[in-house]
């Protein structure tokens, strides 16, 4: 008989699948979920998300379409430069299922104007 501890069961159920766009370039880090939600990234994952993004992206600060498994946390890193506060809702990515690099959008996300405005309005440290 297999017995699992509550922490193992809870950990397995806390993870969800997400589809959207990832960026991880210098002072712009985040995940833009299909439908418009914006998440920061939790850097406690065992995956090297930055290296994966740098390898797969098509250019500087280009959004990369990804399908992934992640846990929603409140432990995030900056999203719009070192002077910006961490986001309240962040993703700890546990598995990358698929990446695609193309110009035509796969889904709607927050506009670049929103992203740039958030960066420009980040408070000084």
Q: Where are the domains of the chain?
A: 14-120
Please, what is the average pLDDT of the chain? Answer: 73
What's the pTM? Answer: 0.69
Residue listed under structure tokens 């850097």: 43
> Is 123 a residue whose pLDDT tops 50?
no
Distance, in Å, from the CA atom of 106 to the CA atom of 65, rounded to the nearest integer, reads 8
Instruction: Supply the pLDDT for residue 94.
Output: 93
84 near 45, Cβ under 8 Å? no
CATH fold for the domain made of 14-120: OB fold (Dihydrolipoamide Acetyltransferase, E2P) (2.40.50)
> Is 55 a residue whose pLDDT tops 50?
yes
**Within a 10 A sphere around the Cβ of 37, how many other Cβ atoms?**
13
Phi, psi at 33, each rounded to 5° = -70, 140
Instruction: Supply the pLDDT for residue 96.
Output: 94
- The residue with greater pLDDT, 52 or 40, is 52
């Amino acid at each position: 008989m297999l017995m699992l501890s509550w922490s193992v069961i809870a950990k397995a159920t806390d993870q969800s699948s997400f589809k959207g766009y990832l960026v991880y370039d210098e002072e712009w880090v985040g995940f833009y979920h299909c439908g418009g939600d914006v998440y920061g990234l939790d850097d406690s994952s065992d995956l090297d998300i930055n290296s994966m993004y740098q390898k797969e992206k098509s250019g500087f600060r280009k959004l990369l379409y990804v399908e992934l498994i992640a846990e929603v946390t409140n432990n995030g890193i900056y999203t719009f430069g070192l002077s910006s506060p961490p986001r309240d809702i962040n993703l700890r990515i546990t598995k990358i299922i698929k990446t695609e690099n193309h110009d035509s959008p796969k889904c709607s996300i927050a506009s670049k104007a929103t992203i740039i405005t958030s960066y420009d309005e980040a408070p000084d440290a």
